[in-house]
Amino acid sequence: MASDADQHLHVETFLVSAGRPDRSAGSSVNVPVELTSTYAADGPVNYARSGNPTWNAFEEALGGLEGGRALVHASGMGAISAALSLVPVGATIVAPDQTYNGTGDLLVAHEKAGGTVVRVHASDTARFLAALESADLLWIESPTNPLMDVTELDVVLARARELGVTSVVDNTLSTPLLCRPLELGADVVVHSVTKYLSGHSDVVLGATVVADTDRGREIGERLLRHRTLHGAIAGPLEVFLALRGLRTLSLRFERASATAAELARRLEGHPSVSRVRYPGAGAMLSIDVAGDADAAERVCDATRLWLHSTSLGGVESQVERRRRHPTESEQVPPNLLRLSVGIEHVDDLWADLDQALRTL
């Protein structure tokens, strides 16, 4: 956990200063990468599946950023799996009717194992509130990936808390710079650290964050036990790189978000775009091209700066037709392109996207 003094820092300053070693003469500015599988007896950790000082530094920084206590996991899916493990087989989960497809696959597996999943449109607050009456766990992704639908987090999370329903928010797309779900009543925040937090498309990591309360610490212990027993642990080098990437999150996200807003404005009314899906903030948007799936693929093939790839949140701008993946939700139109806006100059990105769209 960050100190009280750290909590009063501006976020840009906190990102640079958090998770540093203690200052002493000759000390390192950065936490080192500790490469060991085991430790001498009678210390706080005896085996590296349970802990690592490099993890601790990243967890301190992310926990302070979200206002809670963080755990790093081997991947975003590792973090999602750990969060979904909080409810038993047969439980009722309320979730958006369109989520990240990896989450969707796990929800289908939950149903096949005898559980119930109640799917609600992300923006339908009334149906969320009604569904919570019989729920064991609430899963929220806002905005949704890739349709960019938004949920009234404060209203839905408050009702879940009143009913004692465990709530999880995937905060990957918003990042803690736009939203801190723990402050709105969420029990668990999930991140694919691979995306904006690390920001350079060079690591695969995930994280969970819980509140620093009695309930939060109890949930955190369960998540830690799941991580330890299932072995979904992160490599120290990857965590070191993620912490280094976190230092520039504010700069990267500010630039990318401003560019995304401008691109969304320019795309409205474009003759080759039938719909712009932009949640009003952040660095992600999706567009429906005027045409079919083949037309959308041609746009991807015609870009030169935009990287045709399946991830998001890196410094490079990325574009992808999401329905090319067999597990993607059928609610996602075949002609939808998801755009992850990077930190390049807006005019260069626009020129490349515009020329690609005009090939249709």
Is 195 labeled as catalytic in the residue annotation? yes
CA angle centred on 248, ends 246 and 250, rounded to 5°: 95
Is 112 labeled as catalytic in the residue annotation? no
What is the three-state SS of the chain? CCCHHHHCCCHHHHHHHCCCCCCCCCCCCCCCCCCCCECCCCCCCCECCCCCHHHHHHHHHHHHHHCCEEEEECCHHHHHHHHHCCCCCCCEEEEECCCCHHHHHHHHHHHHCCCEEEEECCCCHHHHHHHHHHCCEEEEECCCCCCCCCCCHHHHHHHHHHHCCEEEEECCCCHHHHCCHHHHCCCEEEEECCCCCCCCCCCCCEEEEECCCHHHHHHHHHHHHHHHHHCCCCCHHHHHHHHHHHCCHHHHHHHHHHHHHHHHHHHCCCCCEEEEECCCCCCEEEEEECCCHHHHHHHHHHCCCCEECCCCCCCCCEEEEHHHCCCCCCCCCCCEEEEECCCCCHHHHHHHHHHHHCCC
Distance from C-alpha of 67 to C-alpha of 61, rounded to nearest angstrom: 10
The catalytic position among 100, 196, 227, 321 is 100
The catalytic position among 49, 266, 275, 298 is 49
Asked if residue 135 lies in contact with residue 120, where contact means CB atoms within 8 angstroms, the answer is no
CA angle centred on 302, ends 296 and 304, rounded to 5°: 130
Is 49 labeled as catalytic in the residue annotation? yes
The catalytic position among 69, 119, 149, 170 is 170
Residues 6+ apart with CB under 8 A from 65: 11, 14, 15, 18, 176, 246
Asked if residue 55 lies in contact with residue 171, where contact means CB atoms within 8 angstroms, the answer is no
The catalytic position among 119, 159, 180, 195 is 195
Is 159 labeled as catalytic in the residue annotation? no
Known catalytic residues?
Answer: 49, 100, 170, 195
